[in-house]
Amino acid sequence: KGIIENWHRRLKTAMKCHLTERWVEKLPTILLGLRVTFRPDLKATPCELVYGKTVRLPGEFFTNSDDPVDESSFTKRLKECMRSLRPTQTRLQTGQSFIPQDLSTCSHVFLRYDAVRAPLRPIYAGPYLVLSKTEKVFRILKENKETVVSIDRLKPAFLLSGEPPQSNTPAADSEHQPPQSN
């Protein structure tokens, strides 16, 4: 990956740490942090490369060693903050997939292509004729062969009356090939 992609990845990672309703207010601090972070590949910080010297951070402007720091209140606030943190779910753990109601009455279905697809390849192939149905699987006619498919991969096909159903979709069943010019 290139330099810009790596920088965007670091920016997104830093922004995810501050996702609140006021994330925009945190953006200058996030950007400052990224600009003053030492980069081993550059052997410098981005600010040093731009300005030719290290940048003084806001906390370094007013360092008065005569003022005692109230460490107990800071520690107390830090503990309260850490107690208030709750882990977020990484994904929805429902275990149920959406099943369209019309699936139980349809005569043709589209089949979701679950493998890794080429960028312009359609998500669904079909429509395919439904031969039989059970609660969890359908038996369909795909490429002139009976195939048993889970209903989680199907969606109903609504065909216009008089429209002949195409049981094979070349774009979904085989790799895309550009049109050949003669």
Domain boundaries, the chain: 1-59, 101-157
Q: pTM for this one?
A: 0.41
pLDDT band (50, 70, 90) for residue 174: very low
Tokens 């096909």 correspond to: 157
Give the lowest-confidence range in 20-24, 43-47, 103-107, 114-118: 20-24
> Cβ distance 133 to 104 under 8 Å?
yes
Q: Distance (Å, rounded) from C-alpha 137 to C-alpha 148?
A: 7
| Residue 81 CB contacts under 8 Å (≥ 6 apart), including other chains | none
For residues 20 and 165, the model is more confident at 20
The whole-number pLDDT of residue 170 equals: 44
pLDDT digits (tens, 9 = 90+) for 117-172: 777 788 888 889 999 999 889 999 998 999 999 988 899 988 877 666 654 444 44
Peptide bond between residue 127 and the one before it cis (omega within 30 degrees of 0): yes
The whole-number pLDDT of residue 179 equals: 42
The whole-number pLDDT of residue 15 equals: 84
For residues 8 and 1, the model is more confident at 8
Give the architecture-level CATH label for domain 101-157. Roll (2.30)
- The phi and psi torsions of 160 (rounded to 5 degrees) equal -70, 145
What mean pLDDT is predicted for residues 8-20?
82
